[in-house]
Amino acid sequence: MATENQMTSGVAGRYASALFDLAREQNELDKVDQDLSKVQAMLDQSADLKRLVNSPAFAAEDQQRALKAVMDWAAVGATTSNFLSVVARNRRLFAAEDMIKGFRQQLALHRGEMTAEVQTAVALNDGQLAALKEKLKSSFGKDVRLNTKVDPSLLGGLVVKVGSRMFDSSLRTKLMNLKVVLKGTG
């Protein structure tokens, strides 16, 4: 099953496992999952926050203080906030996004779900998300959890990754394939 979910390894995997175990012990799996979704959304939307997290130029104390202010502002729970504070103190914030991914993989495994990474050119509405989720469920025979990300460079369509499988129906890829074909016939 670990290969199906491409479990996160290394530093990020160890931290993700520690957070998962802590959240499970405290019966806060859903709360921590919601908090991590907030954190991931903030990282996706804020170049400044991403720079703070990824840059070794900031002192650990500065990262902790700034992160605490952001977590308080976003009403992130104590378990997640304290976890990120420890990560900052240990100078491992650069791996935060992989830790989030690892936590979600473990949660999906715990729930008997599969995780699908979905990239689209524009945000999908609730109906489209439900239809995609249902289609993936019928294809794989398991509940599927969607982690969505908007990537305007796709131009249109979507890219879905489930474990080691990938389905790419993006307009960008179709145009690139057409370009290759046209160059080959010239």
What pLDDT is recorded for position 6?
A: 46
The length of the chain is 186
3-class DSSP state of 108: helix
CATH number for the domain that contains residue 164: 3.40.30
What is the structure's pLDDT at 20?
Answer: 97
pLDDT in tens, 62-100: 999 999 999 999 999 999 999 999 999 999 999 999 999
Can you give the pLDDT at residue 7?
A: 55
Residues of the chain with pLDDT under 50: 1-6
Residues 63, 90: one domain?
A: yes
Note the pLDDT of residue 8: 64
Query: Which phi and psi angles does 164 have, rounded to 5°?
Result: -95, 5
Q: Which domain holds residue 161?
A: 113-185
Q: What is the pLDDT of residue 115?
A: 86
The DSSP letter of residue 170 is: -
pLDDT score recorded for residue 108: 87
Instruction: Indicate whether 9 and 42 sit together in one domain.
Output: yes
Residues 147-162: b if buried by 16+ CB within 10 A, e if exposed: beeeeeebeeebbbbb
> The CATH number of the domain where 88 resides is what?
1.10.520.20
8 Å CB contact between 22 and 82: no
Query: Could you give the number of structural domains in the chain?
Result: 2
Domain boundary pick from 72, 106, 140: 106
